[in-house]
Amino acid sequence: MRPIVLSLLVASLFSAPIAAQELNLYSSRHYQTDEALYGGFTKATGIKLNRIEAGENPLIERIRNEGASSPADVLITVDAGRLWRVEQLGLFQPIESKVLAELLPAHMRAANNQWFGFSARARVIIYNKSAINPAEVQNYEDLASPKLKGKVCTRSGSHIYNLSLMSALIEHLGEAKAEQWAKGVVDNLARAPKGGDTDQIRAVAAGECAVAISNSYYYARLMKSDKPEDKKVVAATGLIWPNQKSFGTHMNVSGAGVIKTAPNKAAAIRFLEYLSSDNAQTYFANGNNEWPVVKSAPVDNAALASLGNFKADTLNISALGKNQPAAQKIFDRVGYK
């Protein structure tokens, strides 16, 4: 589609009047920069945004308990696995939107259009520059190599980030090879899984392990930090984009869907369309170091730019949920806790 036509399409989503002038958003995103994101929606549309924030599981249970009388219009949360779970509970509804169909890549739209990915984060490998040759860990599969015995750090295998990565590997490698990989990673652990992604990066810098798995935006945060201790962490470590010669680096999303019983459905669709606008996409990138999923969106983030270009996995986000039960069973079998 030509740029001028695309611009008109995006602009048009704010021009059509709708009856509802408020939106009830349930959000488990806890990023300060999202204040500007949500404020931008009200400024662009005149629609008042009422927001309830909590963890994803309490929010999902709240919507279930509220039933048909739930005031929730939209749920926004992180990770495709969680969004898939909401779909399986029957809490989302399919959405038809020309704007979303035109702006969002096909793999960022769940197969049934019940939920969508609006920003992307990569699952990368972090390595200690003085402890390992990065050529030895160019792929996720390398993390299971006997060469890395006692050198790998990760957060809990039961965490949704690692379950989604495993779901992608099941899709690409098949369950048998994916289980071999998981067993190899467990055999190579330098310590029992613990902490968050930033803790893994710090452990690599401190020499507790040689490599770790982390979401990219945690590393970008450290790169942008003015704290001397964070600068030391970045100086001691490097980032690898895994699987550049095969299926590409695993990508997960922050995404949203419209609740099945949404009292303000038109406003809810308007909000999803707003999330695909250049303004919102730029907030995701510049505010929280995530990649916009709309490729035309302008980005001014020196940390992201310095990481360079990479080949991203274009596996449909639905697969990250579909394979999640199998991923959990594999992790249980191999003792990846």
CA–CA separation, 155 vs 166, rounded Å?
13
What is the CB neighbour count within 10 angstroms for residue 205? 22
**75 Rama class: left (phi>0) / alpha (psi -120 to 50) / beta:** beta
Q: What is the C-alpha separation between 157 and 160, in angstroms, rounded?
A: 8
Q: How far is CA 256 from CA 73, 76, 128, 195, in A?
A: 10, 4, 36, 26
Query: Which CATH code, of 3.40.190.10, 3.30.428.10, 3.40.50.300, 3.40.120.10, is assigned to 121-249+318-334?
Result: 3.40.190.10
Q: pLDDT tens digits, residue range 197-221?
A: 999 999 999 999 999 999 999 999 9
Helices (H), the chain: 3-12, 34-45, 56-66, 80-88, 98-103, 160-173, 175-187, 197-206, 216-224, 228-236, 265-275, 278-288, 302-307, 318-322, 324-334
pLDDT per residue as tens, the chain (337 positions): 434 334 434 444 444 444 448 999 999 987 777 888 899 999 999 999 999 999 999 999 999 999 999 999 999 999 999 999 999 999 999 999 999 999 999 999 998 999 999 999 999 999 999 999 999 999 999 999 999 999 999 999 999 999 999 999 999 999 999 999 999 999 999 999 999 999 999 999 999 999 999 999 999 999 999 999 999 999 999 999 999 999 999 999 999 999 999 999 999 999 999 999 999 999 999 988 999 999 889 999 999 999 999 999 999 999 999 999 999 999 999 999 9
Other Cβ atoms closer than 10 A to 333: 11
pLDDT, tens digit, for every residue of 176-188? 999 999 999 999 9
Between CA 120 and CA 153 the distance in angstroms is 23
pLDDT value of position 47: 97
pLDDT of residue 4: 39
Query: What is each CA distance from 137 to 75, 108, 238, in whole angstroms?
Result: 37, 28, 12
What local confidence, expressed as pLDDT, does residue 9 receive? 46
Question: Backbone phi, then psi, for 263, in 5-degree steps?
Answer: -75, -20
User: What is the largest distance, in Å, between two alpha-carbon atoms of the chain?
Assistant: 62
- pLDDT at site 280: 94
| 3-120+252-302 against 121-249+318-334: fold identical | yes
273-329 tens-digit pLDDT? 999 999 999 999 998 899 999 988 999 999 999 999 999 999 999 999 999 999 999
Q: Which residues 6+ apart lie within 8 Å of 133 measured at CB? A: none
Looking at residue 11, its pLDDT comes to: 46
Both tokens assigned to 229: 């201790």
Q: Is 3-120+252-302 a CATH 3.20.20.70 domain?
A: no
Domain-wise residue ranges, the chain: 3-120+252-302, 121-249+318-334
Give Cα separations from 238 to 216, 217, 233, 234, 307 (angstroms): 12, 14, 10, 7, 10
Q: What is the DSSP letter of 300?
A: -
Reading the block at residue 184, the tokens are: 């190899």
Residue 177: predicted pLDDT: 98
Q: Which helix (H) or strand (E) holds 75?
A: strand 74-78
Looking at residue 30, its pLDDT comes to: 73
Coil, strand or helix: which one is 164?
Answer: helix
Determine the angle formed by the axes of helices 216-224 and 197-206, rounding to 10 degrees.
60
Number of H helices, E strands in the chain: 15, 9
